Amino acid sequence: MIKKRTLVRFFLFLFLFCTIFYPLLVMVCKIKWSDFSILISSASFRQALGNSFLVTLLATFFSISIAYLLAYTIHHTNRKHKEILKILITLPMLIPSISHGLGLLTFMGSNGLFSKYFGFNIVGFWGIVIGSVLYTFPVAFLILSDGFGYIDSTMYEVCKILGFTKWQTFRKVTFCSLKKALLSAIFAVFTLIFTDYGVPLAVGGKFITLPVYLYKEVMGLLHFSSGTIISLFLLIPAFFSFLFDIFCKDYTTTSEKSYSPSKNKWRDRILAIFTYGILLFTFLILGSFIYYAFIDNIILHPTLSFDHFSYVLDNNLISYLCNSLWISFLVAIFGTILSYLIAYFTARDKKHKSMHILAISSLAIPGMVLGLSYTISFNHTIFYHTFLILVLVNIVHFMASPYLMAYNALKKLDPNYETVGKVCNIRTFYILKDVIIPNTKGTIREMFAYFFVNSMITISAVAFLYNTRTMPLSLLIPTYEGNLMLAEAAVVSFVILLVNLLIKGSISILNRKERRIKYEK
């Protein structure tokens, strides 16, 4: 007789295979290879490819440099309120990438809040670079901050005792320990920028990048075959990033002792100015689109007004918001259950390496590519244009990170709990319900928040899969933005930011409260 456990594992494996690899296989099979040479020889495609590489390389360099200095400031300088700073740095992750572009446009575009006094316009190459940096540096910061947290601080004491210079200590300890995190951050940021179409769509103007080219080919010209070929190009950096994550990431390193920075006023002051400067710029951009949303007319009549808000409200804001909340809630619930269950098998049982690789493989598939593959695979089925397909594509798209959160948390738990269950004649289900889940509650909440927030902001994965009845709120932004209704697009971004702040904030408060209660005990 087949055990229940084996059956559950089989269905999880089947689910991962059908939702990740099947659509990709169908997509690749439907490519007309004659289109390949036509596309490659097209000047506009080559131009877009070149533009993408140029923008991505430059923006990755700036993003990583800023994130490194911010992470260094948090971990290796004497600053108060580091936790608050950390929250502020990661706050921009709560809005879609297109909103960063929108913020930049309202601040430094033609007639922008700032640029109108100096007569310049950021739209184009530099707009995409700055927008991409704004969108990705919090992601790089989180990865590097994690890396800094893992550095064993006793190594610094050893260097001091051995009389190493500061430069030698940096090379031998900081850089060596951070190498993996740094490479991981570079790959992650490169992939994010290379495959993002939110920022270039908002602030790119005539400077076309590859994802925008794909978007126009599929949405504008309905050239699905060309779209698929472009998707393959978008997959390349993501695929290398994925391989790197599998082979090089070390999930188990831990710090023996937390680092206490030496006294150095000048270092602290310079880095504080840098940190506050970056935060100021980020919040000016964020504030700019919020300001835009509540001003009547930025040029002719710059007074407080709720007209744009009322306009969006009258145009079914509540209905789209409900769609988004409904989708995000379902994604968060089912995504959390599913990724937690998969992580339970892979982390608590050594036999499931293939399931582990399958679960993190969605890291290698950009949202647009996943969305396109779902369109091609399911467009003749009853799922197409339903909430079900939107929920499914979001779960698959965002699964890797929450899965890794659960995987790491479950790996840290005592490996003997299940053995205790076996010896004491307690069913594994009870051990999972009464021991494993209660001891990873904080992680489960974080996973829920991650799924929810990202489903609220995603555009790329769902852009080809909605209809008027199921359209999520985030897709109103490119719609308004395309019609040059920037204030209305800003209103939508603002509403998304509010919802995400509410969810992320409540979960952070809940987790903090629980930690404090535990500490007081």
Binding site for another protein (CB under 8 A): 414, 416-417, 419-420, 422-427, 430, 434-435, 438-439, 521
Is 27 in contact with 220 (CB distance < 8 Å)? no
- State which amino acid sits at residue 151: I
Token duo for residue 456: 């609220």
In the complex with another protein, the residue whose CB is nearer, 437 or 501, is 437
DSSP, residue by residue, 1-57: ---HHHHHHHHHHHHHIIIIIHHHHHHHHT--HHHHHHHHH-HHHHHHHHHHHHHHH
Minimum distance between the CB of residue 518 and another protein, rounded to whole angstroms?
8
The residue among 387, 395, 397 whose CA lies nearest residue 337 is 395
Minimum distance between the CB of residue 441 and another protein, rounded to whole angstroms?
9
Distance of CA 490 to the CA centre of its chain: 20
Partners of 383 in beta bridges: none
In the complex with another protein, the residue whose CB is nearer, 260 or 425, is 425
DSSP for residue 295? E
Is 129 in contact with 55 (CB distance < 8 Å)? yes
DSSP for residue 173? I
Within 8 A by CB and 6+ apart from 70, the residues are 89, 137, 141, 275, 278
C-alpha 122/C-alpha 25 separation (Å) is 40
How many separate helices (H) and strands (E) can be counted in the chain? 26, 2
Crossing angle for the helix pair 33-41 and 224-248, nearest 10 degrees? 90
In the complex with another protein, the residue whose CB is nearer, 371 or 421, is 421
Is 23 in contact with 377 (CB distance < 8 Å)? yes
Is 157 in contact with 236 (CB distance < 8 Å)? no
Minimum distance between the CB of residue 4 and another protein, rounded to whole angstroms?
15
The residue among 407, 451, 455, 404 whose CA lies nearest residue 184 is 404
In the complex with another protein, the residue whose CB is nearer, 307 or 414, is 414
Radius of gyration for the alpha carbons in the chain, expressed in angstroms and rounded:
24
Residue 309 belongs to what H/E stretch?
A: helix 307-314
Kindly report the backbone phi and psi dihedral angles of residue 264, in degrees, each rounded to the nearest multiple of 5, phi listed first.
Answer: -160, 95
In the complex with another protein, the residue whose CB is nearer, 307 or 434, is 434
In the complex with another protein, the residue whose CB is nearer, 57 or 420, is 420
In the complex with another protein, the residue whose CB is nearer, 206 or 521, is 521
Q: Which residue has the tokens 């993190």?
A: 360
C-alpha 461/C-alpha 469 separation (Å) is 17
In the complex with another protein, the residue whose CB is nearer, 49 or 435, is 435
In the complex with another protein, the residue whose CB is nearer, 283 or 417, is 417
Minimum distance between the CB of residue 430 and another protein, rounded to whole angstroms?
6
302: three-class secondary structure by DSSP: strand
In the complex with another protein, the residue whose CB is nearer, 42 or 419, is 419
C-alpha 1/C-alpha 12 separation (Å) is 19
In the complex with another protein, the residue whose CB is nearer, 22 or 417, is 417
Token duo for residue 384: 């197409």
3: three-class secondary structure by DSSP: coil
